[in-house]
Amino acid sequence: MLQTILGAIKPHVGLIALLVSFTALLISATAATIAWLNYRRKSSLNLRGFHSIKFSAECDDPYVSSIVIENLKDRAVSIYAVYLRVSRGYYILIEDFEKSPHILRAYETWTKSYGPIEHYIAHGSRIAMQSLLHRGITKHRLVVSTSEGKHVVKEPPKAWKPTHDYLRNQLTTTVSPQRGMYEGEVIGGNVQYIVTLTAEGGKKQTLMIRRFDHKVQPFEEIRITEASLKSADALRTLFQSHVSTGRLSCESIEVMDLDDLRERRSGLLSKEMFEARPIGWFKYYVFGPLRARYRRWRRRSG
């Protein structure tokens, strides 16, 4: 039996040896790659962050109002100072941790906000920084002093927005949901009235009355009628009738008409409402960009 197996394998010995060698090489390469990735993850520095510049009536110079620094490595970083490089040779000191270094732990994000300043000083004299703090003139970068020396903080990738696509294709639309809030509770668009019942001792109960509640009747003690939903006064009269008959116990009834509030809040919106429809491939990817180019051409030509 053994001789038979060896006889069958013998013609393929070279191929088997090649497969074994290739498998060993693949395992070694995988182990080396994992070791290298682990080394990269724990070695050197990799900080990412951004800052914001604010202009205020409280001071003549713009100032750094907030910074965010994120540690992307699996190791802690000792930060001795944070600067904003606003141009070649100009560094604005934001934080000085020389006496007590700030420890940014692995994968930790550090944020801080700042108020207005009085002025800037360099070489014992006041210095104006208005021109250099305008982003459109010079490129700003956060620079930190660490236990491993100077490190320039990487800027995060620019966030994408649908408006970027709209500039190239005007068939792109951003749809923003609008939500109402009342005492920390979200209110849907079908809620027409908010009824607040105040009982003895000041205990309050809030009821959300929807447009179709005369059909579903959500309350056992109170029967909502279609006529009672015509106005806030009609709804208040309905609840007062239940109080007078003893089916409802409360000292006061307040009814808030949400449709009236929505009407005043959306005064700047168009009264017209349209329904979104699917856009075909040709219309979006061909007609949309051509339309955007044509409008840009019309704008440039006057």
Q: Which residue has the higher pLDDT, 179 or 141?
A: 141
User: Range with the lowest mean pLDDT among 123-127, 188-192, 298-302?
Assistant: 298-302
Over residues 195-254, the pLDDT tens digits come to 888 887 778 888 888 888 888 888 877 888 888 888 888 888 888 888 888 778 888 888
Q: What's residue 161's pLDDT?
A: 80
Q: What's residue 7's pLDDT?
A: 59
Q: What is the mean pLDDT of residues 85-91?
A: 88
> Three-state SS string across 57-123, please?
CCCCCCEEEEEEEEECCCCCEEEEEEEEEEECCEEEEEEECCCCCEEECCCCEEEEECCCCCCEEEC
- The dihedral over CA atoms of 118, 123, 128, 134, expressed in degrees to the nearest 10, equals -100
| Joined tokens for residue 57 | 């009536």
Q: What is the mean pLDDT of residues 116-130?
A: 89
For the chain, the average pLDDT equals: 82
Q: What is the mean pLDDT of residues 131-144?
A: 80
Confidence class of residue 84 from pLDDT cuts 50, 70 and 90? very high
H or E element in which residue 52 lies: strand 47-54
Most confident residue range from 112-116, 183-187, 219-223, 243-247: 112-116
Portion of the chain with pLDDT greater than 70, in percent: 85
List 254's β-bridge partners, or say none: 196
Tell whether the model's pLDDT for residue 193 goes beyond 80.
yes
Over residues 44-54, the pLDDT tens digits come to 788 999 899 98
Produce one character per residue of 147-169: b if its CB has 16 or more CB atoms within 10 Å, e if not. eeeebebbeeeeeeeeeebeeeb
Confidence class of residue 111 from pLDDT cuts 50, 70 and 90? very high
Closest CA to 254 of 213, 205, 181, 210: 205
Tell whether the model's pLDDT for residue 20 goes beyond 80.
no
Q: What's residue 176's pLDDT?
A: 79
Domains and CATH numbers, the chain: 47-152 (2.60.40), 185-265 (no CATH)
Portion of the chain with pLDDT greater than 90, in percent: 16
The 8-class DSSP code of residue 155 comes to: P
List 209's β-bridge partners, or say none: 193
Tell whether the model's pLDDT for residue 71 goes beyond 70.
yes
Q: What's residue 32's pLDDT?
A: 64
Parallel/antiparallel/unpaired status of strands 204-210 and 191-198:
antiparallel
Tell whether the model's pLDDT for residue 42 goes beyond 60.
no
Is 81 within 8 Å of 97 (Cβ atoms)?
yes
Q: What is the mean pLDDT of residues 286-301?
A: 85
Query: What is the rounded CA–CA span in Å between residue 296 and residue 16?
Result: 67
Closest CA to 108 of 135, 130, 76: 76
Is 118 within 8 Å of 177 (Cβ atoms)?
no
